[in-house]
A and B are shown apart, each in its own frame.
Chain A
Amino acid sequence: MAVAVPRVTRRRRERAARAGAGGPRYPGWLALPAVCWYLVFFVGPLGIMAAYSFAQATGYTDVSFNWNVDNYRYLWDPLYGKIFLRTLELALIGTGLTLLIGFPFAYYLARYARRKTLLLLLVIVPFWTSFLIRTYSWLIMLDGDFPLFRALDFDPEVLYTTKAIYIGVAYNYLPLMVLPLYAALERMDWSLVEAAQDLGDNALRAFVRVTLPLVLPGVLAGSLLVFIPLTGEFLIPAILGGEKIFYVGNLIAQQFGEARDWPFGASIAMVLIGSMTVALLAYARLLGKQEQYG
């Protein structure tokens, strides 16, 4: 029984786990089924979509590959520019609203709340239920005939306006903002804030100088999680905007529906991914700076 079993120290194992490695040994080729599925049904389609964006629709279903940038040139038009700007506005307002509502909430949860696990689960549950039903519910909530409004004899008159869309967006995307904010605030060492206050900072100053810099990565992560999917959002405008208010997502869906111009739709999607990549790179840069100075 003198076989010396090399003991992996706990710390080393934890470090390996954080890097995404470790665990029992299994052969690498087990990854093949999933990787093949990704390549054929994910990478392949994205590639074909990219190729489509340089083709032209020639009939109801026919497409000819001319390999020119006509679709992109066609997209360079004030009409579409307006839709892109409106989408940017939606994404920015949605990010701002969820941050405004979500930050104080996450702050309370992380610093003061008891039974954090349960309270956090209560945030996650709506997030995992149907996006469609959550959006649909606001058709009822904002109706002028909603019992509360009837009792007050007041019609908010927001349904099928941009306001209804903003409410739907704030509602659906709030959990995506709260979770990374909470994760960042949860790691906060609150004695640092107390120290700042002992040394003469008032609460606001301590917040700006101590708390905010430390949770900024969480704020950035949450903003990104909300901002990126919002740029392609089309369900909330379709339902709460009554299909009258158009965003980039609606424009793309239209090309694959009534308009039936798939190559044009593909080029819009390409522009969407392109802008997203820029946003992600900017985020990575910001985060890098944060770590450098933070």
Chain B
Amino acid sequence: MGKRLLQGHALLVYLFLYAPIAVVVVLAFNGGRQVLFWEGFSTRWFGIALRNPVIRDALENSLLVASLNAVIACALGTLLALALSRMRAFVRVPIDALAYMTLVTPEIVFGISALIFFVESASLVGIDSPLSVWTILVAHVVFNASVVALIVRARFVGMGQTLEEASYDLGAGPVKTFLQVTLPRLAPAILAGGLLAFTFSFDDFYTSFFVAGPGSETLPLYIFGQVRFGVSPEINATATMMLGLTLVAIVIAYLVLRRTEQGRRAAAALPGV
């Protein structure tokens, strides 16, 4: 009997988790002007949203920041993961702690300190308003580099050293060994890390909220500004497009990670972030 009860509870939990998201998506296809009164299926709000110049600018900003963030975070995170695995403990442990701190520090605290930092350091060199897409990018890379490092490292430490030793023995240097031996084996983890870094940046609200300036509004910031005026079919359509994009990225990342045995460790390690 207990098992049945638990099963019913689990079913309700899945309903709880997915019903709100499904409602937003379904209502995005409502042709009417009022969100909650169904007036027939239509995709017109997607067209209206995509023709709205403010939304287009926000989408462009979001895509720019998220893509560059993913590239930089992949480079920094992968190099960090390579370096850490053979470091002596007294160097490795503090760096590890630092990387974890970037993930556990509440975003509001990081957001305001980044804001103060950007404004203060810009005023040192005589710039009045430094806040732009670039400050958002720099701030996003901080915690996304740690995300990539975490995923890449979980794969890296489990993969053994024999192939790389062989490569060194045969006369290849570290660069050649990396490109020809390590990189191909790490590629799934780096790809997955990059996709996750992309979605974390694309969806980020808290950090962007503080370090965005005039003209550098991202999609989440735009939606937040609009929500103050209540729900609207245009927000539903925009939100649905955002959900679609992140969902695709997440599922690809997950499948890529799951394909490899060591990747399971990485996939298991990540949700704890």
> Which residues of A are found within 8 Å of B71, using beta-carbon distances?
none
**In the bound complex, how far is the Cα of B186 from the Cα of A124, in angstroms?**
23
The answer to whether A49 has its CB under 8 Å from any CB of chain B is: yes
> Which residues of B are found within 8 Å of A104, using beta-carbon distances?
6, 9-10
By the criterion CB–CB under 8 Å, are B161 and A174 in contact?
A: no
Residue in B closest to A101 when the chains form the complex, CB atoms: B13
**The one of B85, B120, B206 that contacts A26, using a Cβ cutoff of 8 Å:** B85
The answer to whether B160 has its CB under 8 Å from any CB of chain A is: yes
> Which residues of B are found within 8 Å of A166, using beta-carbon distances?
none
Interface string of A12-23 (1 = CB under 8 A from B): 011011001111
The answer to whether A72 has its CB under 8 Å from any CB of chain B is: no
**Which of A30, A45, A46, A143 has the largest count of B CB atoms less than 10 A from its CB?**
A45
By the criterion CB–CB under 8 Å, are B92 and A33 in contact?
A: no
**In the bound complex, how far is the Cα of B251 from the Cα of A121, in angstroms?**
9
**The one of B21, B101, B104, B224 that contacts A132, using a Cβ cutoff of 8 Å:** B224
By the criterion CB–CB under 8 Å, are B10 and A26 in contact?
A: no
**In the bound complex, how far is the Cα of B114 from the Cα of A41, in angstroms?**
7
The answer to whether A137 has its CB under 8 Å from any CB of chain B is: yes
**In the bound complex, how far is the Cα of B91 from the Cα of A20, in angstroms?**
13
The answer to whether B36 has its CB under 8 Å from any CB of chain A is: yes
Residue in A closest to B181 when the chains form the complex, CB atoms: A24
Instruction: Using A41-B114, A139-B227 as known contacts, say yes or no to A33 and B242 having CB atoms under 8 A apart.
Output: no
How many pairs of residues, A versus B, come closer than 8 Å at their CB atoms? 285
**The one of A23, A34, A45 that contacts B85, using a Cβ cutoff of 8 Å:** A23
By the criterion CB–CB under 8 Å, are A8 and B21 in contact?
A: no
**In the bound complex, how far is the Cα of B142 from the Cα of A34, in angstroms?**
8
**In the bound complex, how far is the Cα of B138 from the Cα of A203, in angstroms?**
54
Residue in B closest to A280 when the chains form the complex, CB atoms: B104
> Which residues of A are found within 8 Å of B246, using beta-carbon distances?
128-130
- A272 to nearest B CB, angstroms? 6
The answer to whether A246 has its CB under 8 Å from any CB of chain B is: no
By the criterion CB–CB under 8 Å, are B227 and A239 in contact?
A: yes
Q: How many residues of A contact B (CB 8 A)?
A: 95
By the criterion CB–CB under 8 Å, are A231 and B106 in contact?
A: yes
By the criterion CB–CB under 8 Å, are B7 and A112 in contact?
A: yes
Interface string of B9-39 (1 = CB under 8 A from A): 1100110111111011001000000011110
**In the bound complex, how far is the Cα of B243 from the Cα of A126, in angstroms?**
10
**In the bound complex, how far is the Cα of B99 from the Cα of A52, in angstroms?**
24
The answer to whether A2 has its CB under 8 Å from any CB of chain B is: no
Instruction: Using A30-B82, A108-B7, A128-B196 as known contacts, say yes or no to A35 and B98 having CB atoms under 8 A apart.
Output: yes
Interface string of B71-110 (1 = CB under 8 A from A): 0000111011011111101011001101101101111111
**Which of B20, B91, B105 has the largest count of A CB atoms less than 10 A from its CB?**
B20
Residue in B closest to A102 when the chains form the complex, CB atoms: B13
Residue in B closest to A121 when the chains form the complex, CB atoms: B254
- A280 to nearest B CB, angstroms? 9
Instruction: Using A123-B17, A231-B106, A276-B106 as known contacts, say yes or no to A28 and B91 having CB atoms under 8 A apart.
Output: yes
> Which residues of A are found within 8 Å of B10, using beta-carbon distances?
104-105, 108-109, 113
> Which residues of B are found within 8 Å of A228, using beta-carbon distances?
104, 106
**In the bound complex, how far is the Cα of B273 from the Cα of A179, in angstroms?**
10
The answer to whether A29 has its CB under 8 Å from any CB of chain B is: yes
> Which residues of A are found within 8 Å of B23, using beta-carbon distances?
137, 140-141
A-B CB contact pairs (8 Å), 26 listed: A20-B157, A24-B159, A27-B174, A33-B75, A34-B76, A38-B102, A41-B138, A44-B117, A48-B116, A108-B7, A109-B10, A129-B247, A130-B239, A130-B246, A133-B243, A137-B20, A137-B24, A171-B20, A179-B272, A183-B272, A239-B224, A256-B115, A256-B210, A266-B116, A273-B106, A276-B106
The 9 closest A-B pairs by CB, nearest first: A24-B164, A137-B20, A45-B117, A31-B83, A49-B113, A45-B113, A232-B106, A30-B83, A108-B6
Known: A38-B98, A228-B106. 6 other contacts (CB 8 A): A24-B159, A26-B182, A30-B79, A104-B6, A112-B6, A133-B223
Q: Please list the residues of chain A having a beta carbon within 8 angstroms of any beta carbon in chain B.
A: 5, 8, 13-14, 16-17, 20-31, 33-35, 37-38, 41-46, 48-49, 52, 101, 104-105, 107-109, 112-113, 117, 121-134, 136-141, 143, 145-147, 150, 171, 174-175, 179-180, 183, 203, 221, 225, 228-229, 231-232, 234-235, 238-239, 243, 249, 252-253, 256, 262, 265-266, 269, 272-273, 276
